[in-house]
Structure 1
């Protein structure tokens, strides 16, 4: 299987998180985008402040690489107004895909209408701009029942308000890669969780983020019905090696 077009090459650490300088962080983003262009990956997923720069790189290379960014990252507890403001800036900077962290904390607290309104308003903004939205549900923070419930909520909002004709433009995505788990439990995509997401999101596509460690795992995810794979080790996976990073 040619796995490259399933891969979203990812670098989302801030300079502080990586304990490096701002210049070093910018260089990591440049290197990631160049690598994604050279290897014909589907997308480069980067923080919002680098979207304009990355788009210029893609244009200069006459590449088909997509540029994606994150919204409400990584906690998801930003207000809907804040997420809409971030999203509009990313759209203005010509991001192709916007990955929102859903307010899964509110969902767990039973604030269902808040979550529905957030998914509706943010998805509407993205679709009207002819972009793609992905909703990160942070599976490591959820029980299996909550994974199913939140996935079904997103599916229902999209289909009820935007129709099946727009389903392919709204993903359900597993993880941020930044959630801190207890006792060494995985904080990224697992096969069990992705099966639940794929089954309950249809016809919305699913993205497995984090936890995919090698080419074999990537193929298995695709065979489960996953459409995209987010990883900070895209080249290693594409080359048949093992991921060098946790995400």
Structure 2
């Protein structure tokens, strides 16, 4: 795979609490230079990113109900709407893990459906936080997302005990088939890991190490 091709898989990410405006400007500059698919940022920085990325092809992705997924559904929906108004082009929402663990699947479905309606056509990715779920729970969550026709299922916030695994990505892809995207995120810091996720079925990579990932491809004489 060519580095520019790999770059189009990457949501170049900066979500930790201490990120400054200068950090976001740098993120946007790196995304433009390396032709990443998007920047993935907290909602407060959407207006800044919109200004920096005007007249470029780099999209703005933001996170909703982040990182716990435990907000009121109405708050998630409002957050999504306001983020889209501000300029977000992709929405990554965190599923309500507590409701999954409680077996309250109707609430899980409704939570996603209401946010999907609030997105009104803007691409929605649903973060499952796979490290907290059993394989059966991953499958059921993916089936709900597939039935609702969201854009993507996503492995992780990157803020919990573990991130993406090849096994979870493969299970998600097997469950959703070719109808949805699969985003692998959390702990993906090098080319080898990113390519393993893509080979398992990921169509998007969320990473703060996007530059290292594509540079590793450039430096790999064996290719991928």
Q: TM-score, normalised by structure 1?
A: 0.83
Match of 1:145 in 2: 136
Match of 2:154 in 1: 173
Give the alignment partner of residue 126 of structure 2, picking from 124, 129, 135. 135
Q: Deviations along 1:67-105, whole A, 9 cap, x unmatched?
A: 000000000000100101111110110100000001121
Q: Deviations along 1:183-202, whole A, 9 cap, x unmatched?
A: xxxx1100000001111122
Conserved 8 A contact 1:87-1:98: yes
Kindly report the root-mean-square deviation, in angstroms, between the aligned alpha carbons of the 2 structures.
Answer: 1.3
Conserved 8 A contact 1:3-1:218: no
Match of 1:20 in 2: none
Shift of 1:148: 1.2
Give the alignment partner of residue 26 of structure 2, picking from 31, 34, 51. 31
State how far apart, in whole Å, the 2-side matches of 1:90 and 1:53 are: 12
Match of 2:197 in 1: 221
Conserved 8 A contact 2:10-2:206: yes
Q: Which runs of 5+ in 1 are unaligned?
A: 16-23, 159-166, 182-186, 242-247
State how far apart, in whole Å, the 2-side matches of 1:157 and 1:97 are: 17
Give the alignment partner of residue 81 of structure 2, picking from 78, 81, 88. 88
Conserved 8 A contact 1:172-1:206: yes
Match of 2:173 in 1: 198
Q: Please list, as runs of the form range in 1=range in 2, the aligned pairs for 1:63-82 lying within 5 A after superposition.
A: 63-82=56-75
**216-225 or 71-80, which deviates more:** 216-225
State how far apart, in whole Å, the 1-side matches of 2:143 and 2:15 are: 27
Conserved 8 A contact 2:189-2:208: no
* 3-state DSSP of counterpart to 2:103: coil
State how far apart, in whole Å, the 2-side matches of 1:213 and 1:200 are: 26
Give the alignment partner of residue 43 of structure 1, picking from 34, 38, 41. 38
State how far apart, in whole Å, the 2-side matches of 1:67 and 1:145 are: 32
Shift of 1:135: 0.2
Q: Structure 1 residue runs of 4+, over 2 Å off?
A: none
* 3-state DSSP of counterpart to 1:95: coil
State how far apart, in whole Å, the 1-side matches of 2:174 and 2:83 are: 30
State how far apart, in whole Å, the 2-side matches of 1:211 and 1:195 are: 17
Shift of 1:213: 2.7
Conserved 8 A contact 1:189-1:208: yes
How many residues are aligned here? 213
Q: TM-score, normalised by structure 2?
A: 0.91
* 3-state DSSP of counterpart to 2:20: helix
Shift of 1:220: 2.1
